Amino acid sequence: MSRLYLIPSPIGNLADITYRAVKVLESVELVLAEDTRTSGILLKHYNINKPVTPYHQHNEHKVLQHLVQQLQSGKQMALLTDAGTPGVSDPGFLLVRECIREGVPVECLPGATAFVPALVNSGIPMNRFAFEGFLPPKKGRHTLLTQLSTEERCMVFYESPHRLVKTLEDFIQYLGPDRQCCVSRELTKMFEENKRGTLREVCDYFNEKGVKGEIVIIVEGFTGK
């Protein structure tokens, strides 16, 4: 029976994939990969030999209907993004929406996603939080940051290492220098780091030290101060 499986992939440590995810990858007929090289390392590590085809933000519109037609014909596929759960700041939404429209079963497995461990180990109250993903690099950035300046929930952001300091500087400008934050980088990897403190302290730290690795930023919500 046709089915699209969304498979969370490890965010660093290859051991952080579920047993069920491995079994599903062994059973499907085709693996869709955001980056075939990255997914190839994971598949090789678990001795999974399946056809792999690219599916990423640059081709997802072009290949969408073809993939749905294959699924409708009875094929089973798995979607893997580079790290974490497909659709969470990664390709996946368009394919899921089209499958639902066309009556193709979709199943998302539970598993790795970067913001959950970053939230939990931040030490910032997280009973309510707002996931913002990547900030717009230019257009809409000022408007969004202005709106977020009074957001009372804890906020979660993804960022690339070369833009981290600039983003922290923007947070200082719009949210104030004294908001508590935590920058988590290289989660689950050998050089994992969680730097906690005020926005000013953390910004100064990374401005001096430099930045490498995948980044999650947790920022305290507005408290009225």
Quote the pLDDT of residue 210: 87
Quote the pLDDT of residue 123: 95
Quote the pLDDT of residue 224: 84
Residue type, 205: Y
Pairing of strands 180-185, 193-198: antiparallel
- Which three-class secondary structure string do you get for the chain? CCEEEEECECCCCCCCCCHHHHHHHHHCCEEEECCHHHHHHHHHHCCCCCCEEECCCCCHHHHHHHHHHHHHCCCEEEEECCCECCCCCCCCHHHHHHHHHCCCCEEECCCCCCHHHHHHCCCCCCCCEEEEEECCCCCCHHHHHHHHCCCCCEEEEEECHHHHHHHHHHHHHHHCCCCEEEEEECCCCCCCEEEEEEHHHHHHHHHHHCCCCCEEEEECCCCCC
- pLDDT of the chain along its 225 residues, tens only? 899 999 999 999 999 999 999 999 999 999 999 999 999 999 999 999 999 999 999 999 999 999 999 999 999 999 999 999 999 999 999 999 999 999 999 999 999 999 999 999 999 999 999 999 999 999 999 999 999 999 999 999 999 999 999 999 999 999 999 999 999 999 999 999 999 999 999 999 999 998 999 999 999 999 986
Ordered by where they begin, the domains of the chain are: 3-108 (3.40.1010.10), 115-219 (3.30.950.10)
Q: Is the pTM of this model over 0.75?
A: yes
CA trace torsion 151, 157, 160, 165 (10° rounding):
40
